[in-house]
Amino acid sequence: MSQVHERKIGEVILKMEGISLSFGGVKALTNISFDVREHEIRAIIGPNGAGKSSMLNVINGVYFPQEGTVTYRGEVRARMDTHQMAESGIARTFQNIALFGGMSVLDNVMTGRNLKVKTNFLEHALHIGRARREETANRKVVEEVLDFLQLQSVRKTPVARLPYGVKKRVELARALAAEPSILLLDEPMAGMNVEEKQDMCRFVLDTNEQFGTTIVLIEHDMGVVMDISDRVVVLDYGKKIGDGSPDEVRNNPDVIKAYLGQGH
Amino acid sequence: MQFFLEVLIGGLLAGVMYTLVALGYVMIYKASGVFNFAQGAMVFMAALTTVGMSEKLGISPWLAAPIALLVMVLVGLATEKFVLRKLVAQHEITLFMATIGLTFFLEGLAQMVWGSNVRKLELGIDDLPIQWLMDKTGISVSQFDLAAAGICAVLVAALAIFFNKTKIGRALRAVADDHQAALAVGIPLQYIWGIVWAVAGFIALVAGLLWGSRNGVQFALTFVALKALPVLILGGFTSVPGAILGGLIIGASEKLAEVYIGPMVGGGIENWFPYVLALLFLLVRPEGLFGEKIIRRV
Amino acid sequence: MIYREAGQFKTDYVSDSQIFPIKQDRIVIALFLLIATVLPFFVTDYIRSAILIPFLIFALAALGLNILTGYAGQLSLGTAAFMAVGAFASYNFILRIPGLPFPLAFVLGGLSAALVGIAFGLPSLRIRGFYLAASTLATQFFVVWALTKIGWFTNYSSSGVITAQQMELFGYAFTTPISKYFVCLVIVVLLALAAKNLVRSNTGRAWMAVRDMDVAAEVIGFRLMHTKLLAFAVSSFYCGVAGALYAYAYVGTVEPEAYNLDLSFRILFMIIIGGMGSILGSFFGAAFIVLLPVVLSLSAHALGMSTEIASNLELMVFGALIIFFLIVEPHGLARLWQIGKEKLRLWPFPH
């Protein structure tokens, strides 16, 4: 069941041109070009090993391509360190959950507010004035995110004790706490059952609708992709083989061949 | 020049002995991923048991050694059963700290049973210069050092062959790589670990006898074993050739530094020089000369 | 039912973020502070000097190590070296700046230790796990050697053992055990409070993030270098102040040999047994490690064992306890305390 999204999709916010990425002798991505528009939900799909995670890492800035450029908000992006990446307004979740096991849900999501903390450790040690106000303000934002993702009941639970699906939601919460302009989701539905997937879809859509966050996601579940994305990019063996609306991509013979093999 | 050679050779020979101790660590780390901090205590315990037995029963250390070996093997098996098996799933740092606890326990136990006095361990090889070398070149190299180095070299070679050429050695390496996979192909994990600790106990005994004979059997022996750490850092924790090269480098550099730089700063450099050297080395190459490069990804 | 939290609702974030949000906790802490202030007057000088003072000093050192190892995940075997720096620096500051108030000397000693901590913490940017622990041995051995050999530090003392000066403030000399105790109490309480504030703040979260998953922490935007070096700096500061107190309020001398590898291990044991990543645990661990030898030697004496056997027994018991705690309750006494509180919540009902 396709839904028509009534949001206003904006201008191109992110543009990949001719991206090629290799590790040693292995070429992960070859000459990939596509763009992402503001406020849209863009899916990256493809068979296993197609280079989807690598593509996400290039968008994030973790990998710097040997060829090609990434243009973000009109400026060609140079090599950045991780701090700059985080400050650029792009937040992400990880394929294998990367939560901080020794902390509670609340603390984990609070780490998402790290970049907004301007006070230094001495002020933290004294816990008065500016530091106290800042902590309370950050707590307020985090509580709103927890409310949004319905995680209030587990806020003080150590994350290591939570079930898999809840952990994934906490990771999403942590990313949202940073108030990003672009959210990168690496297989957010992986390992979930039908109900959990429906919940997660709802959260992703809500995030997009309520906060206007641009979302780029990697996903294997075709139903999810077709349902919630505005546009889809299809990768296979590191090359782009499809780009367009879900319906266009679904009927693309190259895409069908890649997934189902010749002769269908 | 002659003096330099003497110091160098003396250092290299000591280095071979460091290698031997280091191999005890490598064995256990290779097979179970545990860094056995207690190896030093085991060296001490082995030496002390030999000397104690030898005194108590009135026999030569060479005869007491097999008894000590039995004790060490039992200690190793008990460690595996009561300590490591319970901590299998834990973080490697937790296991490391457990071996620190084990160190204290073994040191206390050994001293409680045999007393804390310094003991002399007579192996029958004198610490005198080799006569014909002295006559020919004027270089003084201790007989004992050479013999000790020879014994160590033989043992090191045997271990290298053991690891690479025998069935059990291969099984050990499989276990070190991936426990689950090793289980899946039918390798009896506990049996292998038992062997590993037994061999480590044997290494500890030989090292204990040699070092104890050289420096006297006393608590300070545990610090000698601690010196194996820089050896491992240089050579990597999982490599036999690395341990050999690392041992030689540490042994030689430590002696040379003490003799040539030592007098300028008041001596005592041996205490920290190997560690600082290892530290500087780690900054350049975090995985050691032969260690496996660690790749971490999210 | 004693520990029932029902009915204690927090209606704003400020009160939920209090250090001790639960009323019963506040009562317990107030009680402890009361005992800490009053008890010393009712015990002998021996207990003050041999148990209460070292307990406070070791608790402070354990706090320092806990910050570095328990919260920030950087395993260190060089704690005693930083204590030594604090002691020697304080000594030299008091010696060479006449009229310097001793609390300021201790702060300066702590800062000196912090600088050394940053220097020797630099390797943590490249090295992890027990490679890092092994490299902290370099710190331990080198620093102690330097303090022994470089005459300026010991004021060219021929014996290498220096007597610590008196602690004087505004003409009052803290010479009695009870006065020394209160010096320690004030310093430790203040620093413990600061530590508690630090670990609940973004600084503390940064440390724990680096401990749990440093690659992810970096991608999120935490600066690994800042975070790790800050941990070394703060931790070394605490250990430095503890070292100064060790010299001035406890043993009365400033000698390098006291700050040896054995001491580093003892403090590590304190945080393992007390609870890593727990402020309260540092206190539990210190109490345990200070009291255990006393208990052991008293029992050994009662059973007629020689002191030699007793001290070896102490080693064995320490070692066995470490292994025991790591197997049974890796989070230490602090976790057991928490479990106890949870049981009290329900008592007299079993569940």
- H/E stretch holding A50 reads none
Q: Which residues of B touch A98 (CB under 8 A)?
A: 298
| Chain C contact present for A103, CB below 8 A | yes
CB atoms closer than 10 angstroms to residue B144:
19
A114, A116, A156: best mutation site toward chain C, by most C Cβ within 10 Å?
A114
| Chain A contact present for B112, CB below 8 A | no
Nearest residue on chain A to C19, alpha-carbon basis: A127
- Predicted local distance difference test score (pLDDT) of residue C17: 67
Question: Which chains reach chain B with 3 or more Cβ–Cβ distances below 8 angstroms?
Answer: A, C
- Predicted local distance difference test score (pLDDT) of residue A234: 92
Query: Pick the residue with more confidence: B114 or C200?
Result: C200
Name residues 11-40 of chain A within 8 A of B (Cβ).
Answer: none
CB contact under 8 A, C323 and B112: no
- Per-residue pLDDT averaged across C293-300, rounded? 84
Q: Which residues of C touch A111 (CB under 8 A)?
A: 205-206, 209, 217, 220, 222
Query: Pick the residue with more confidence: B219 or C41?
Result: C41
Dist CA B248 CA B296 (whole Å): 31
- Per-residue pLDDT averaged across C160-188, rounded? 85
CB contact under 8 A, B282 and C215: no
Count of B-C CB contacts under 8 Å: 127
Dist CA C38 CA A20 (whole Å): 72
- Per-residue pLDDT averaged across A71-90, rounded? 83
pLDDT digits (tens, 9 = 90+) for C98-115: 888 899 999 999 999 999
| Chain A contact present for B298, CB below 8 A | yes
Query: Pick the residue with more confidence: C38 or A173?
Result: A173
CB contact under 8 A, B98 and C327: yes
Q: Which residues of C touch A139 (CB under 8 A)?
A: 13, 17
Q: What's the Cα-to-Cα distance from B275 to each of A13, B57, B227, B250, B297, rounded to whole Å?
A: 52, 40, 8, 9, 30
Nearest CA to B259 out of B25, B47, B13, B4 is that of B4
| Chain C contact present for A26, CB below 8 A | no
pLDDT digits (tens, 9 = 90+) for C121-161: 998 888 887 788 888 999 999 999 998 888 778 777 777 67
- Predicted local distance difference test score (pLDDT) of residue C48: 85
| Chain B contact present for A85, CB below 8 A | no
Does the structure show a pLDDT above 70 at C5? no
CB atoms closer than 10 angstroms to residue B7:
16
CB contact under 8 A, C194 and A125: yes
C244: its two tokens: 């100064």
Does the structure show a pLDDT above 50 at A2? no
- Predicted local distance difference test score (pLDDT) of residue B287: 67
CB contact under 8 A, C265 and B100: yes
| Chain C contact present for A140, CB below 8 A | yes
C12, C16, C190, C212: best mutation site toward chain A, by most A Cβ within 10 Å?
C212
CB contact under 8 A, C145 and B268: yes
CB contact under 8 A, A126 and C221: no
The whole-angstrom distance between A20's CA and the closest CA on chain B is: 20
The DSSP-derived string for B22-79 is HHHHHHHHHHHS---TTHHHHHHHHHHHHHHHHHHHT--HHHHHHHHHHHHHHHHHHH
- Per-residue pLDDT averaged across C316-338, rounded? 89
Q: Which of B108, B112, B233 sits opposite C131 (nearest CB)?
A: B233
The whole-angstrom distance between B81's CA and the closest CA on chain A is: 28
Does the structure show a pLDDT above 70 at C320? yes
> In which residue are the tokens 């255990």 written?
C292
Dist CA A41 CA A9 (whole Å): 9
pLDDT digits (tens, 9 = 90+) for C216-253: 898 888 999 999 999 999 999 999 999 999 999 999 88
Name residues 45-84 of chain A within 8 A of C (Cβ).
Answer: 60, 62, 82-83
Question: Which chains reach chain C with 3 or more Cβ–Cβ distances below 8 angstroms?
Answer: A, B
Does the structure show a pLDDT above 90 at A4? no
Q: Which residues of C touch B117 (CB under 8 A)?
A: none
Dist CA B108 CA C311 (whole Å): 8
Q: Which of C13, C198, C212 sits opposite A100 (nearest CB)?
A: C212
Beta-carbon contacts of residue B170 (< 8 Å; ≥ 6 apart): none
Dist CA A42 CA A184 (whole Å): 10
CB contact under 8 A, B268 and C148: yes
| Chain C contact present for B4, CB below 8 A | no
Nearest residue on chain B to A53, alpha-carbon basis: B298
Count of A-C CB contacts under 8 Å: 98
A223: its two tokens: 């139903």
Residue A99: pLDDT band with limits 50, 70, 90? very high
Name which of A83-87, A88-92, A115-119, A241-245 the model is least confident about: A83-87
Name which of B184-188, C17-21, C234-238, C302-306 the model is least confident about: C17-21
Question: Which chains reach chain A with 3 or more Cβ–Cβ distances below 8 angstroms?
Answer: B, C
Burial of C10 (0-12, 13-18, 19+ CB in 10 A): exposed
Q: Which residues of C touch A113 (CB under 8 A)?
A: 202
> In which residue are the tokens 């991206």 written?
A19
CA-only gyration radius of chain C, Å: 21
Dist CA A208 CA A42 (whole Å): 11
Nearest CA to B199 out of B187, B210, B207, B189 is that of B207
- Predicted local distance difference test score (pLDDT) of residue C3: 59
- Per-residue pLDDT averaged across A215-234, rounded? 90
The whole-angstrom distance between C288's CA and the closest CA on chain B is: 16
- Predicted local distance difference test score (pLDDT) of residue A264: 44
Residue A206: pLDDT band with limits 50, 70, 90? very high
Give the total residue count for chain B. Answer: 298
> In which residue are the tokens 């507010």 written?
A113
8 Å CB contact between A230 and A40: yes
Q: In chain B, which stretches have pLDDT less than 50?
A: 298
The whole-angstrom distance between A249's CA and the closest CA on chain C is: 32
Name residues 94-113 of chain A within 8 A of B (Cβ).
Answer: 94, 96, 98
Name residues 23-82 of chain B within 8 A of C (Cβ).
Answer: 35
CB atoms closer than 10 angstroms to residue B235:
28
- Predicted local distance difference test score (pLDDT) of residue C297: 81
Nearest CA to B19 out of B223, B242, B222 is that of B242
B275, B276, B295: best mutation site toward chain C, by most C Cβ within 10 Å?
B275
- Predicted local distance difference test score (pLDDT) of residue B244: 86
Does the structure show a pLDDT above 90 at A144? yes
Q: Which residues of C touch A115 (CB under 8 A)?
A: 221
B88: its two tokens: 């299998």
The whole-angstrom distance between A92's CA and the closest CA on chain B is: 12
Does the structure show a pLDDT above 60 at C58? yes
Phi/psi of residue C72, each to 5°? -95, -5
C165: its two tokens: 């000066």
Coil, helix or strand at residue A264: coil
Nearest residue on chain B to A92, alpha-carbon basis: B298
- Predicted local distance difference test score (pLDDT) of residue B294: 58
Coil, helix or strand at residue B216: coil
CB contact under 8 A, C315 and B104: yes
Residues on chain C bordering chain B, Cβ-to-Cβ distance under 8 angstroms? 75, 123, 126-131, 133-135, 137-138, 141-142, 145, 148-149, 213, 215-216, 219, 265, 268-269, 272, 308-309, 312-323, 326-327, 330
> In which residue are the tokens 């292994």 written?
C323
- Predicted local distance difference test score (pLDDT) of residue A201: 93
CB contact under 8 A, C319 and B86: no
Mean pLDDT over each residue of chain C, to the nearest integer: 87
- Predicted local distance difference test score (pLDDT) of residue C230: 97
Does the structure show a pLDDT above 60 at C178? yes
Which residue type occupies B96? Answer: F
